[in-house]
Amino acid sequence: MRKLIAIAFLLILGFFMLKIVSVFPFGEERWGVSRHYVDKGIEENRASNLVTSIVVNYRGFDTLGEVTVLFLAATALAFLLATCKCRKKYERIEASLTLKTASDILYPLLILFGAYIFIHGHLTPGGGFQGGTVIASAVMLMLLSHFTFHPNHRALSTIEGLAGIIFVLIGFAGFIWGGSFLANNILPLGHWNRLFSAGVIPLIYIAIGFKVGAELSGLITDMYKVTKEEE
Amino acid sequence: MILEYFMIFLLVLMLILAVYVVETKDLLAAVIASGFISLVASIVYLYLQAPDVAMTEAAIGAGLTTLIFIIAIRKTERYEK
């Protein structure tokens, strides 16, 4: 009976998905607001990566919400781990020499690559979220290979909070001097396809990169270090 | 044309892997398979000219989520009852 209901639900879902896909033209002529983004996006924001221009500027408020959701998820996880009867146990499992040496070499390179991704967010594919995740996976690699590696939790939360505040402050600066929240006319736009271009977009993406990197690193460290108390 | 057949192959592979993830009792294998689904999805996104989404999918779906699930399995049990 339960399986039948599940199959019926899936069929209904599939039917509506098919409807939606058949109604919306895929890869055809765009109109309305998306036409404006494609035509005027580079002129208005001077970011050669149009996706970043949309994510951080036209839809910047949504991105602020997205960052807030991530923050709430990390906070909820920290809260759950703090309230359960767990203890912080530092595992003392020696990793193999190959893993240790490789992660020693890879760790700075991964951090550099993550920073590269979010600093060049307005020029090349990628941005704050992707770069932050790469940095968090570098921290994860070090946690797996060195049991003596403890990221400074207080520093991570400070970076996270500061980056979030910088994002909101840039938004309010646009509100005061530019006319609307996150307006991109308070800094010179510069030339297309240069590192120092696109106004506040790189600043916001660097802030997001720091925030996501610190948040996910803290989250992984929390999860990795906490173990359930054995009775 | 060959590229389109390759994409169809990738999509079918994703479907098969998804069924395997649901059906298998070994949670570690399920996690690895779901990470592989994300990797294949990121290739498909790249083909659809969405490199930003492809990067997110590869970094978060294939990298971080898999690692977090593996930590969770390490702290609990590997086999489903």
Contact A140 B51 (CB under 8 A): no
Please list every residue in chain A whose beta carbon sits closer than 8 Å to the beta carbon of residue B55: 117, 125-126, 130
| A89 lies in some domain | no
Considering the domain boundaries, does residue B10 fall inside one? Answer: yes
Kindly state whether residue B13 falls inside one of the protein's structural domains. yes
Looking at residues B4-25, what average pLDDT do you find? 90
Q: Which pLDDT belongs to residue B61?
A: 86
Give domain status of residue B80, yes or no: no
Which site among B42, B64, B65 would you substitute to test the A interface, given the most A Cβ atoms closer than 10 Å to its Cβ? B64
Terminal C-alpha separation, chain A: 41
Q: What is the pTM of this model?
A: 0.82
The rounded distance, in Å, linking the Cα atoms of A1 and A3 is 5
Q: How far is B53 from chain A (nearest CA, A)?
A: 8
Report the distance separating Cα A135 and Cα B65, nearest Å: 14
Interhelix angle for A201-225 vs A60-83, to 10°? 20
Interface check A224 vs B, CB under 8 A: yes
- pLDDT tens, residue by residue, A158-186: 888 898 888 888 888 888 887 778 777 77
* Residue B19 lies inside a defined structural domain of this protein: yes
User: Residue B21 falls within a domain, yes or no?
Assistant: yes
- The shortest CB-CB distance from B75 to any of A134, A220, A228 is to A228
- What average pLDDT does this structure show over B38-57? 89
Domain of A189 in residue numbering reads as 45-76+96-226
How many domains, in total, are found in chain A?
1
What pLDDT was estimated at residue A92?
A: 67
Question: What is the C-alpha separation between A197 and A203, in angstroms, rounded?
Answer: 10
List CB contacts of A115: < 8 A, sequence separation 6 or more.
A131, A135, A209
How large is the angle between the packed helices A60-83 and A153-173, nearest 10 degrees?
160
Q: How do residues A67-113 score in pLDDT, each as one tens digit?
A: 889 889 888 888 887 777 666 666 667 778 888 899 889 999 999 99
Which residues are within 8 A (CB) of A14 and not within 5 positions of it... i.e. 6 or more apart? none
Total domain count, chain B: 1
Which residues of chain B have a Cβ shorter than 8 Å from any chain A Cβ?
A: 51-52, 54-56, 59-60, 63-64, 67-68, 71-72, 75
Place of tokens 């990390």: A74
Specify the DSSP class assigned to residue A226: E
- Quote the pLDDT of residue A108: 93
Asked whether the beta carbons of B37 and B77 are under 8 A apart, the reply is: no
Q: Do A220 and B67 touch (CB under 8 A)?
A: yes
Structural domain boundaries, residue B55? 2-75
A228 at the B interface (CB within 8 A)?
yes
Q: What is the mean pLDDT of chain A?
A: 83
Assess A136–B contact: CB distance below 8 Å, yes or no.
Answer: yes
What residue in B sits closest to A137 (Cα-Cα)?
B64
pLDDT for res A9: 94
Q: What is the mean pLDDT of residues B10-15?
A: 92
Q: How many CB pairs under 8 A join A and B?
A: 42
Residue B81 inside a domain? The answer is no
In the predicted model, what is the mean pLDDT of residues B2-28?
90
Calculate mean pLDDT across residues A142-151.
81
